[in-house]
Amino acid sequence: MEPETRREPEARDEPGAEDDQSCTVYGLYDQDLTHKTILVGDSGVGKTSLLVQFDQGKFIPGSFSATVGIGFTNKVVTVGEVTVKLQIWDTAGQERFRSVTHAYYRDAHALLLLYDITNKSSFDNIRAWLTEIHEYAQSDAVIMLLGNKADMCSGRVIKREDGERLAREYGVIFMETSAKTGVNVDLAFMTAAKELIGRCLELPKEPKFQINDIIEQKPQQSGCCGFT
């Protein structure tokens, strides 16, 4: 079989690009490069819903069906001129599956850690989740803290500032999301992808994605919670 030929990207010739042995710089331009992102957090915080919203642009209301074990979805995204295949692993939040999911942490380039803004214990458990992440994941993995269900204004028990403070303490990226309305869902995954690419290629990081860009595309159904 003929080997597949690909056009050499110009950015390969950027000074210093080939010096960075820690990144698969050449591979970043290959469609088949896979960045592994893993979703973690307590059961019921909305990991599966977030992934469905990102992948299919929809929210399936109704009774909660807990994930069993682990599953994955592939999604090709473009960040600037770079196309990357994200392999997104959706883990089960239930305690009994923890030993199974730990095995996947070490291969993850990015970890999206969710809590539910209406569920205090899911937020209180974030420190334990971060301890597990630091124990099992690679030290250079991108970590994002996401306060999900931001559409549930009346049920909110975790202030946005509390999430921001915790994220600052651990030096991780923070945002609030809603798998229901779609607010900041694309932004969360794209920020992780952009961070990964930026680390390897040192792409100009400005202009950053603006939270308001996404909010404008997918306006909230109710302007509440001070979630802007």
Ligand X SMILES: Nc1nc2c(ncn2[C@@H]2O[C@H](COP(=O)(O)OP(=O)(O)OP(=O)(O)O)[C@@H](O)[C@H]2O)c(=O)[nH]1
Task: Tell me if 146 sits within 8 A of 112, measured CB to CB.
Answer: yes
Q: What is the DSSP letter of 191?
A: H
- How far, in Å, CA of 27 to CA of 80, rounded? 16
> Residue 36 — left, alpha, or beta (φ > 0 → left; ψ -120 to 50 → alpha)?
beta
Residue 119 binding ligand X, by CB under 6 A = no
Binding residue (CB under 6 A) for ligand X from 35, 36, 47, 109: 47
Binding residue (CB under 6 A) for ligand X from 1, 10, 13, 64: 64
Residue 101 binding Mg ion, by CB under 5 A = no
Q: How many helices (H) and strands (E) does the chain have?
A: 7, 6
Residue 66 binding ligand X, by CB under 6 A = yes
Residue 49 binding Mg ion, by CB under 5 A = no
Residue 82 binding ligand X, by CB under 6 A = no
* Cβ proximity to ligand X, 28 vs 92, nearer residue: 92
**Site size toward ligand X, by CB under 6 A:** 21
Structure tokens given for 16: 């210093």
Binding residue (CB under 5 A) for Mg ion from 53, 67, 178, 220: 67
Q: Is the C-alpha dihedral spanning 87, 58, 209, 211 positive or negative?
A: negative
**Site size toward Mg ion, by CB under 5 A:** 3
Stretch that binds ligand X, among 22-30, 88-96, 101-109, 159-167 (CB under 6 A): 88-96
For residue 8, the cross-strand partners are: none
Binding residue (CB under 6 A) for ligand X from 25, 29, 36, 48: 48
Residue 48 binding Mg ion, by CB under 5 A = yes
Residue 180 binds which entry of Mg ion, ligand X, none, CB below 5-8 Å type-dependent? ligand X
Integer angstrom CA distances of residue 154 from 118, 151, 218: 9, 9, 20
Residue 101 binding ligand X, by CB under 6 A = no
Residues 6+ apart with CB under 8 A from 32: 85
Distance of CA 24 to the CA centre of its chain: 20
* Cβ proximity to ligand X, 29 vs 67, nearer residue: 67
Task: Tell me if 54 sits within 8 A of 186, measured CB to CB.
Answer: yes
Residues at the interface with ligand X (CB under 6 A): 43-49, 61, 64, 66-67, 92-94, 148-149, 151-152, 178-180
